[in-house]
């Protein structure tokens, strides 16, 4: 028998659980400003996350999906993307959104039931949060196609969860990215749980990264709690996309340290010991320990930055809570560019009723 094809999937990791290098660090580690900015963003994300959950618990925010455990890979993505690239998120990408310029107040508005929370000012071409699982993958290849058609050296980065990799949208999009040689990077954020369904029930494949092989793409596994490994793999994949060399799939392995959303209770299906072990691998702590070892961070700086984050989040919460709801007529005003005559009567009715808010 003749061997037709063989493939390999590499796995990238630089730091152990104590922040000690396992190998020579990639060149990104020497850019201390970038590393410090990354760490600060992780702490800000975590501070925001805790506050958003608290707001939901006290009836001041709607159902909210915690990003706990996603801060490292999310931050690495935000740093790797160029401003002119397009980010296509799913719904646990708060760390990335912050680096794209989405404001804390906008994120609160979105999860607090206000469409203006997706009217992002800073990154107008990024796609909004995608709640229907994996559907955003198809948009990502469409955006990448637009860049290719216009001959623009821009790239697209699309996030999807491990559960999302079971959907046709993900596989169809990978397939098109290979067939059309598109400038897109897919990051499957494998946090081990799709609500209550563990990763092993999503696929019999040993890795998610190897799904790339069938689409004719390279696939890499990266420790998504290892900042240096994440930026290294992401920078390479985006450089490849920018150079017109095609798409990449990255499986970023992490752990969902929180519930699926505030409407979920993971203690119903998840072992406490597994969760404890996952906290040992926490990537935020890991980077903090490395920064300490390098003399770039200390307890005072930590305290100052924590206070700064709390202050920023408090300000955003106050602004969010002080934001009046849109007039009810807004539900029709953005449906089409111009309201069809057929809907004029319905708009009049909304405007005339209490809460119509017509001034």
Partner 1 sequence: MSGPDLRAVTLVEAVNLALHWEMAHDENVVVLGEDIATNGGVFRATVGLKEAFGYKRVMDTPLAENLIAGTAIGMATQGLRPVAEFQFMGFIYAGMEQIVSHAARMRNRTRGRLHCPLVYRAPFGGGIHAPEHHSESTEALFAHIPGLRVVIPSSPQRAYGLLLAAIRNPDPVLFLEPKRIYRAVTQQVDNNGEALPLDTCFTLREGEDVTLITWGACVLETLQAADRLAAQGITCEVIDVATVSPLDRDTLLCSVAKTGRAVIVHEACRNGGVGAEVAASIAEGAFLDLQAPVVRVTGYDTVMPYYRNEQAYLPQVGDIVEAVEQVIAL
The 8 Å CB, 24+ separation contacts for 76-80 are 76/38, 76/227, 76/230, 76/231, 76/234, 77/157, 77/159, 77/187, 77/230, 77/234, 78/41, 79/34, 79/37, 79/38, 79/231, 80/157, 80/231, 80/234, 80/235, 80/238
Residue 341 contacts partner 1 per CB under 8 A: yes
Residue 342 contacts partner 1 per CB under 8 A: yes
**Binding flags for partner 1, 262-301, as an x/- string (CB under 8 A):** ----------------------------------------
CB closer to partner 1 out of 272 and 341:
341
Which of 260, 281, 286, 347 does the annotation list as catalytic?
260
Which of 20, 269, 349, 353 does the annotation list as catalytic?
269
CA 197/CA 192 separation, integer angstroms: 8
Residue 313 contacts partner 1 per CB under 8 A: no
Burial grade of 60 (CB within 10 A; 0-12, 13-18, 19 or more): middle
Say whether 158 sits in a helix, a strand or coil. Answer: strand
Asked if 136 and 170 touch (Cβ cutoff 8 Å), the reply is: no
Q: Least distance from C-beta 327 to partner 1, angstroms? A: 13
Residue 82 contacts partner 1 per CB under 8 A: no
CA 125/CA 152 separation, integer angstroms: 14
Residue 174 parent element (H or E): helix 168-179
Residue 260 annotated as catalytic: yes
Task: Provide the token pair at 15.
Answer: 């730091």
Task: Please give the size of the binding site for partner 1, defined by CB under 8 A.
Answer: 44
CB closer to partner 1 out of 185 and 222:
185
Residue 343 contacts partner 1 per CB under 8 A: yes
CB closer to partner 1 out of 60 and 167:
167
CB closer to partner 1 out of 25 and 138:
138
Using CB under 8 A as the criterion, which residues of the chain lie in contact with partner 1 when the complex forms? 86, 88, 115-116, 118-120, 124-125, 127-128, 132, 135, 137-149, 168-169, 172-173, 175-176, 179-180, 330-331, 334-337, 340-343
Residues classed as catalytic: 256, 260, 269
């Amino acid at each position: 028998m003749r061997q037709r094809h063989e493939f390999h999937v590499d796995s990238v990791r630089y730091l152990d659980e104590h922040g000690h290098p396992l190998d020579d660090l990639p060149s990104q580690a020497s850019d201390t400003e970038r590393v410090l900015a990354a760490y600060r963003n992780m702490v800000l994300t975590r501070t925001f996350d805790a506050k958003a959950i608290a707001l939901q618990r006290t009836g001041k925010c709607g159902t909210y999906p915690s990003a706990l455990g996603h801060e490292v890979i999310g931050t690495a993505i935000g740093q790797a993307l160029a401003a002119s690239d397009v980010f296509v998120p799913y719904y646990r990408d708060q760390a990335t959104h912050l680096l794209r310029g989405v404001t804390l107040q906008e994120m609160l508005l979105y999860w607090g039931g206000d469409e203006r929370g997706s009217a992002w000012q800073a990154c107008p071409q990024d796609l909004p949060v995608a709640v229907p699982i994996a559907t955003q993958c198809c948009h990502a290849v469409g955006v990448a196609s637009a860049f290719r058609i216009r001959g623009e050296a821009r790239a697209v980065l699309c996030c999807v969860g491990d559960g999302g990799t079971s959907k046709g949208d993900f596989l169809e999009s990978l397939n098109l990215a290979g067939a059309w040689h598109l400038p897109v990077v897919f990051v499957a954020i494998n946090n081990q749980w799709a609500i209550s369904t563990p990763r092993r029930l999503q696929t019999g494949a040993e890795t998610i990264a190897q799904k790339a092989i069938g689409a004719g793409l390279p696939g890499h596994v990266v420790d998504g709690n290892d900042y240096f490994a994440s930026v290294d793999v992401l920078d390479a994949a985006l450089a490849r996309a920018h150079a017109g060399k095609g798409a990449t799939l990255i499986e970023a392995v992490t752990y969902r340290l929180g519930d699926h959303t505030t409407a979920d209770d993971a203690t119903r299906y998840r072992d406490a010991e597994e969760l404890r072990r996952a906290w040992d691998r926490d990537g935020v702590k890991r980077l903090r320990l490395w920064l300490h070892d390098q003399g770039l961070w200390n307890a005072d700086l930590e305290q100052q930055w924590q206070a700064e984050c709390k202050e920023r989040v408090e300000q955003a919460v106050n602004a969010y809570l002080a934001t009046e709801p849109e007039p009810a007529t807004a539900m029709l005003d953005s449906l089409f560019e111009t309201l069809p005559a057929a809907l004029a009567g319905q708009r009049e009715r909304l405007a005339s009723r209490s809460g119509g808010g017509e001034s």
